[in-house]
Chain A
């Protein structure tokens, strides 16, 4: 690895430390950690703009920037699947998130698994959803970890011990998350988002000028020298069918992630969420341009560059110390801040839906809050352990993350609209969906279609076929969430209740 740049390294470390400090200051009011609801979803008081920053900070991570550029570098326009994916994710969210938020708000729920438990009266289902959520989220936190590790490696080779700095910075993040809860990442998210927009736009404008004399000459050069980058491949294992199904399934999966749900539950009203669904697609303007940075890397960098380092190597060869420093700190923050929100999401699932629902149902109040907060160290610790000790073991889980997460879509979203969806069919559907996804992935029989798509189809099919077998009970039984969603159901329910 090439020697780093001392100016760049100092700037990066200064900005990281400033943000960590702000993260601590955000929680100086003790109320931020007084209950699970305060700590994890900020007492549901965040307005539209704050939620925008939070969800934006949440979803546009270091991995987004490093991963997309490296996909563009190796696979060309397949990387653009991220655009319809996230645009449609927000569009779809418009139709179900306000409703979900209302139920969560009314019943004081803080996780998606909480909702499933109340909706279906099933602790089995809620703990299953929590297990899937935590299992898929830890590898995702690992990705953030390798993002900051790669960045510091490029910035600091020859000056620092990268592993020590990575562990220290993640420990600091865990500590401020433990301390400030969701307030920590929210305020730092604003800094991160502003930096992301400024630095990414700066790179998109300056790099074509530096290397090609402008944007249009750059496009001309790609068109003549590497036209294969500019269209979706029409043959090979990943083509248009993959692109379409990957975009669609990822769009359905986006708000199934625990960290995305956490961000949404902080909103103060259903209307704040609707407005977010409206404005969030605009965040992708920066994303589509970032993909072009991968194309620039393809044309500029010498053959044999590790694709994983495409963006970082491009920054290193193009800018002086200050430019490098600002760019590295942006990527480092894009790794640390989402990590904090992911840790809150995973800890919440772990404490509420695995520990409380499955192991110790009596726990509540101050003790539950403490356990939830303490789980942050466990979650980040596990991610560090896996990321540093078994980096290869997690590759499959990372690839399957989206395909796995989308399997809870019927339990969370469809159930908002379908009164007679039964617990039994939903649980079996979820398990069938997971099994099919893993089978298709491990046997390599996806036929050019995204693995999660097969899983989701099997999931839906299982629910539709099995639901009539159990529907009698679901028709007459009711609970608070069902009443809230579908209104008090007919007289027969009352009669059955009286009779019982």
Chain B
């Protein structure tokens, strides 16, 4: 279970910022004053640290860090 979560947290930033780009490459809807593509990139500036933090906590709980 934890292993699956770990893999998801690792894959997610790559998928969101590279793989799905063709689908988010659009102007509408404009959110928080940002056209959609820019909003999406902005969103992942904020979300990526959460993924990293999740991985950090998982590794810590497994005693993988020293």
Q: Write the residues of chain A forming the contact surface with B, with a CB cutoff of 8 angstroms.
A: 77, 80, 83-84, 87-88, 90-91, 94, 215-216, 219, 222-223, 227, 230-232, 234, 240, 243-244, 247-248, 270-271, 274, 277-279, 281-282, 284-285, 288
Contact = CB atoms under 8 A, between A and B. Distances in A.
Given A77-B37, A232-B37, A243-B21, 19 more contacts: A84-B41, A87-B13, A88-B13, A88-B18, A91-B52, A219-B35, A231-B26, A231-B27, A232-B21, A240-B21, A240-B22, A244-B18, A244-B19, A244-B21, A270-B65, A270-B66, A271-B65, A281-B45, A288-B41
A248 B18 contact: yes
Q: Which of A77, A91, A270 has the most CB of B within 10 A?
A: A91
A84 B22 contact: no
A244 B14 CA distance: 10
A444 B30 CA distance: 37
9 contacts: A83-B45, A94-B52, A230-B27, A240-B25, A243-B21, A244-B21, A274-B65, A284-B45, A285-B45
A353 to B, nearest CB: 29
B56 A84 contact: no
A486 to B, nearest CB: 15
A80 B66 CA distance: 37
Contacts of B51: 91
Interface of B: 13-14, 17-19, 21-22, 25-27, 30, 33-35, 37-38, 41-42, 44-46, 48-49, 51-53, 55-56, 65-66
A215 B33 contact: yes
Main secondary structure on B side of the interface with A: helix
A414 B34 CA distance: 38
Contacts of A77: 37-38
A110 B42 CA distance: 35
A198 B34 CA distance: 21
A208 to B, nearest CB: 10
A351 B59 CA distance: 38
Nearest to B35: A230
Contacts of A247: 17-18
B37 A230 contact: yes
Contacts of A80: 37-38, 41
A87 B48 contact: yes
Contacts of A271: 65
Contacts, number: 88
B41 A278 contact: no
Q: Which of B19, B21, B46, B53 has the most CB of A within 10 A?
A: B21
A288 B21 contact: no
Interchain residue pairs A-B with the least CB separation, the first 7: A84-B17, A83-B41, A230-B35, A284-B45, A244-B18, A278-B52, A281-B48
B49 A282 contact: yes
Contact of A223 (B27, B53, B55, B65): B27
Nearest to A231: B25
A219 B18 contact: no
Contacts of A222: 35
B14 A278 contact: no
A80 B42 CA distance: 10
Contacts of A219: 30, 33-35
Contacts of A90: 48, 52
Contacts of A88: 13-14, 17-18, 48
B18 A274 contact: no
A420 B25 CA distance: 42
A90 B53 CA distance: 12
B15 to A, nearest CB: 11
B57 to A, nearest CB: 11
Contacts of B55: 94
Contacts of A270: 65-66
Contacts of A243: 21
